[in-house]
Amino acid sequence: MKDLLRPLYSAGYRVDLFLRVILRLHHVAKRRMFLLDQLYVGGIKVLHVVLLVGVSIGMVVSLQTGIELSRIGQQNSIGTLVALSMTREMGPFITAIVLAAATGSSLAAELGTMSVSEELDALEVLSIDRTSFLVVPRVVALAILCPVLTILCDAVGIVGGGFVARSQLGVELSLYYDTVLEALQTPAELIPLPKDVYCGLLKSFVFGIVISIISCAAGILARGGALAVGAATRSAVRDSIILVIILNYFMTWFFYRQ
């Protein structure tokens, strides 16, 4: 029975932690140094990974779709497909997966170590709000980093796709970038950004919050020594990726349903 109730307790704790973070968002100003530290740890240290994966994905999408389009003489449209694929889906999704694997696991391990060594209990004894002190800067940092890294991932993916289009498919770069800009002309209703870019950034914002909440909750709930820290890290990455995939589907359906 305990094994059946544990996932429900964990899910409930994540929701409770998210609500407590929302109620403490006004503490961000006084936690700004911790926020800057998390921005560096979660962003700068994984930037090269996001850029490498982003340009590789853009090149693969360009090559695979370009080969099929060239069979029907439509390879000049490759810019449209690469731009829409990167901004709508691949950019936000790939960035979220990288952050879940790198930053999310780090958050879970760090807080898990503090939990099993009773440092979190010591904060409570000192009457320090551990949600404000530890969780809020991490959640806000990842909510900022995920959209920023997504923009960079989109950009390098489109550039990588252009390189393949020129070298492998014989498409002029001027024509490629013209089709890219044309594909991203659909305006959004709420924000003066192209709809596909806006939707991708909103996805990444949600993904950043989800990854940080799940990872922090997994670390705080860790109990029982080093093995518990490993289990918390594993569950944080696993649950983050699963929820990102599920949310990605429903958000895509919401934005692009007919």
Distance, in Å, from the CA atom of 24 to the CA atom of 237, rounded to the nearest integer, reads 25
pTM (predicted TM-score): 0.90
Residue 248 and residue 89 in contact, taking contact as beta carbons nearer than 8 Å:
yes
pLDDT tens-place string over residues 190-213: 666 778 888 899 999 999 999 999
100 within 8 A of 240, measured Cβ to Cβ: yes
Q: Are 61 and 82 in contact (CB under 8 A)?
A: yes
Neighbours of 249 (CB within 10 A): 10
Domain boundaries, the chain: 10-253
Q: Which tokens is 227 given? A: 């093995």
Tell me the per-residue pLDDT of 83-129, one tens digit each, with 9 for 90 and over: 999 998 999 999 999 999 999 999 999 999 888 888 888 888 888 88
Length of the chain: 258
> For residue 187, what are its two tokens?
């305006």
pLDDT at 258 over 60: no
The residues, ordered by sequence, that sit 6+ positions from 174 with a Cβ below 8 Å of its Cβ are none
For residue 92 the two structure tokens come to 């936000």
**Contact (Cβ atoms closer than 8 angstroms) between residue 114 and residue 219:** yes
